[in-house]
A and B are shown apart, each in its own frame.
Chain A
Amino acid sequence: KQEVTQIPAALSVPEGENLVLNCSFTDSAIYNLQWFRQDPGKGLTSLLLIQSSQREQTSGRLNASLDKSSGRSTLYIAASQPGDSATYLCAVRLLMDSSYKLIFGSGTRLLVRP
């Protein structure tokens, strides 16, 4: 059974700091991995998607890496800003019971202090 774990559960940093969010998964037979951002009580915004054959994806100040063999992904946020405060969720897409499913981690709640 695929389990997705995110560490840390919560993180508070001063503005301007570079930070790394971690995501690990138990079954390396994933199709792809997505990082999402969720503001309190709001929807999920897709940030980056990494295919299983890829090692990393970049978008602006965000960089996501994937090491499928070790079951790990990291989301690197450069020069953090208060507007980055949100919950960050990683999700893996894999074949389960004859269909593809998206399995979410429990998220990292990030607070960037001005």
Chain B
Amino acid sequence: AAGVIQSPRHLIKEKRETATLKCYPIPRHDTVYWYQQGPGQDPQFLISFYEKMQSDKGSIPDRFSAQQFSDYHSELNMSSLELGDSALYFCASRIDRGGVSEQFFGPGTRLTVL
């Protein structure tokens, strides 16, 4: 079965650079979520999109932005990178089926800021 695809899997950037992370949800899933997981931390919700519109915003810094495109893939854009942005970034997609709502997570993108 198709899973959530994230690219790149690993990314190394320097401080003040920009980064773009991509997420391809499972086909026919209508909602995409972005999470940030720092070292030894639990995943923290950043932002979500439903049918290409931003549906919710969590602890996403103003330096970050995201969007969902017509093909439902999503991109997380990160500017003025800081050392503290080093983390694993997960994308998840969600579908409601028969009243059951479940999120499926991608493998994550490991961002290292030097």
Contact = CB atoms under 8 A, between A and B. Distances in A.
A41 B101 contact: no
Interface string A34-48: 101000011111100
B88 A46 contact: no
Nearest to B41: A106
A59 interface: no
B107 A93 contact: no
Given A44-B90, A105-B42, A51 B100 contact: yes
Given A99-B56, A101-B56, A36 B105 contact: yes
Interface size range of chain B in the complex: 20 to 34
A32 B107 CA distance: 22
A89 interface: yes
Contact of B90 (A43, A100, A107): A43
B39 to A, nearest CB: 10
Given A104-B42, A106-B42, A44 B105 contact: yes
A44 B4 CA distance: 11
Interface string A13-24: 000000000000
B64 interface: no
B77 interface: no
Interface string B33-70: 10000000111110010000001101000000000000
Given A89-B42, A99-B55, A101-B56, A32 B101 contact: yes
Nearest to A51: B100
A111 interface: no
Nearest to B33: A102
B14 interface: no
A49 interface: yes
A39 B107 CA distance: 10
B88 to A, nearest CB: 7
Contacts of A44: 43, 90, 92, 105, 108
Interface of B: 33, 41-45, 48, 55-56, 58, 88, 90, 92, 99-108, 110
